[in-house]
A and B are shown apart, each in its own frame.
Chain A
Amino acid sequence: MISLHDVTVTYPNGVIALHPTSASFQRGKFIVLLGTSGAGKSTLLRSINGLVRPTSGDIAVEGRGSIFADRAQLRAHRRSTGMVFQQHHLIGRLTALDNVLTGRLAAHSTLRTLLPLPRADRLLALEALDRVGLADRALDRADQLSGGQQQRVGIARAMAQKPEIMLADEPVASLDPATSIKVLEDLHRICREDGITAIVSLHQVDLARQFADHIIGLSQGRIVFEGTPDRLASVTLDQIYAVERQSLAKAA
């Protein structure tokens, strides 16, 4: 279980992205962070692996303590935390397999990774690609794959870490609706099969309803809803999206 204790994030330009927020994420669940863009989903998600450093508050993993205790602790936490990004974050001119192997770097010493990785790691990476249906494209350059395939390579890269936690920051925001569902199905299936805790930010209510075990609704840097998808009534949806509507109306 991961828990956030009064985490706040204020960016250097003074924007408060996250007001004091406490939450805990149950092991093995598929948790969706729901909200409009700018609601603080991305900030919350990125603080969970320290890509964003909280201004105050702390984040702890059960049995291991604060992830920010020291550099080694943060690296160990990141090693067991996979991340899938909105724009897949692949290196276009490398093969899909080489991109997936980036997920194996932290398992080795810096010196060891100057040489090609062991066969066991390459097999693991290939297996991860196979699980997202891309084993036959392993040696193709990443920039020759379609958007949905690139995002699957991103998932395979995170899977190659053998993670306990999977973070996904708007993983399907750049994909068409049909591909979105397929990619989320892959992510959902793999996390379920391996008992991985998944924390996924989305802005589409229907997708959240379809995949989430648990939904956390965010609006303007605060949690405004927490519960199972069936409790996500239209009243709560208004809470998640209403404030935005008001400010949009003002801007118009």
Chain B
Amino acid sequence: MAGTRSYDAILAAQSRSALRGAGLVGLIVLVCVAALAATGFFDAKRFLESGPAISTLASEMVPPDFTRWRTWLRPLLDTLAMSIAGTALAVIFSLPLALLAAPNTSPHPGVYWMVRTLLAFLRSVPEIILGVLFVAAVGFGALPGVLALALHSIGMVGKFYAEAIEHVDPKPLEAARAAGATPIQVIVHAVLPQVLPQLTDVTIYRWEYHFRASAVLGIVGAGGIGFELIAALRLLNYDQVSAILLSILACVVMVDSVGAYLRKSLK
């Protein structure tokens, strides 16, 4: 069957597919360059003129002024609490939604599309906008921040959960079904045990992200260290700004290492 002619055909097809791959990479590079140009990145003059302004700002930020550190402790703890509470809420709502949004566990294609759309909508509203809305609704403080983080994250975490659930090995599911398990028993005992490590991973990553995001949310009045940050910026106390940024950095490093530890021990 496979004579020289068919060898040639196979190799020619291989070359064609390699060429298509190269063409696609070229196109992506082109689009990236166009995007940089459109946003003014290749305007050298602007960069040259910005030199003095940047150096003035930098000199005002150094040395960082840590004299008010006591007043930042509570807001930093608030930020930490916001990140944990936001993650907990996001997980509680994401899991059931993800089960409805994964084609292999969703009860009906209609439900699948509805929940997918809902999740897409939730993650398309930036948390800073949600923060502004919730501050208007429930007042200043950590609560609007937590609600904003959770609501936005449900869209993201729900999608990641759904994708993990979608790619489970169907064989153990069939085994459970063959043993007479109900659909919910199949989900709890054959689907979830398979995806638990991925769900944990997504959740921990999201918690790390929530800490950084809740620092930003303070800027719109949603509690935490961000509130102090925006106050220092408004008063042009750049040495305090740099001190707060360094404190946030220290906490991010801490949160990330706790996350790494949890990831390792929950495998």
Contacts and interface: CB of A to CB of B under 8 A. Distances in A.
Interface of A: 49, 51, 75-79, 81-83, 85, 87, 89-91, 93-94, 98, 102-103, 105-106, 110, 113-114, 154, 157-158, 161, 167
B179 A110 contact: no
Contacts of B172: 89-91, 102
Given A51-B177, A51-B178, A157-B179, A93 B194 contact: yes
A105 B178 contact: no
Contact of B197 (A49, A75, A93): A93
A49 B178 contact: yes
Nearest to A167: B178
A169 to B, nearest CB: 10
Interface stretch (B14-22, B185-193, B207-215, B228-236): B185-193
Contacts of A154: 175
B189 A113 contact: yes
A89 B179 contact: no
Interface string B167-211: 001011011111111101100111001100100000000000000
Contacts of A81: 178, 180
B193 A89 contact: no
A83 to B, nearest CB: 4
B171 A75 contact: no
A158 B188 CA distance: 19
Contacts of B197: 93
A49 B188 CA distance: 22
Contact residues of B: prevailing secondary structure: helix
* Most chain B CB atoms below 10 A, which of A76, A102, A106: A102
Contacts of B174: 51, 85, 89
Contact of B185 (A85, A89, A105, A157): A105
Given A102-B179, A106-B185, 20 more contacts: A51-B177, A75-B182, A77-B180, A81-B180, A82-B179, A85-B171, A90-B172, A90-B175, A91-B169, A91-B172, A91-B193, A91-B194, A93-B194, A93-B197, A102-B189, A105-B180, A105-B181, A106-B180, A110-B185, A154-B175
A106 B184 CA distance: 11
Contacts of A49: 178
* Most chain A CB atoms below 10 A, which of B178, B181, B184, B185: B178
A106 B181 contact: yes
A105 B179 contact: yes
Contacts of B169: 91
Contact of A78 (B171, B177, B189, B194): B177
B182 A110 contact: yes
A103 B184 CA distance: 15
Contacts of A103: 179
Interface of B: 169, 171-172, 174-182, 184-185, 188-190, 193-194, 197
Given A75-B182, A110-B185, A102 B177 contact: no
A78 B182 contact: no
A81 B181 CA distance: 12
A82 B177 CA distance: 11
* Most chain A CB atoms below 10 A, which of B171, B172, B197: B172
* Most chain B CB atoms below 10 A, which of A77, A98, A113: A113
A167 B178 CA distance: 10
B171 A110 contact: no
Contacts of B190: 91, 102
A110 B176 CA distance: 13
Contacts of B194: 91, 93
Q: Nearest 9 A-B pairs (CB), nearest first?
A: A106-B180, A78-B180, A79-B180, A89-B175, A89-B171, A83-B178, A105-B181, A91-B172, A105-B185
A77 B177 CA distance: 12
A157 B181 contact: no
A94 B184 contact: no
A90 B194 CA distance: 10
Contacts of A76: 180
Nearest to A169: B178
Nearest to B196: A93
Given A113-B185, A114-B188, A157 B175 contact: yes
Nearest to B197: A93
Contacts of B189: 102, 105, 113
A51 B173 CA distance: 11
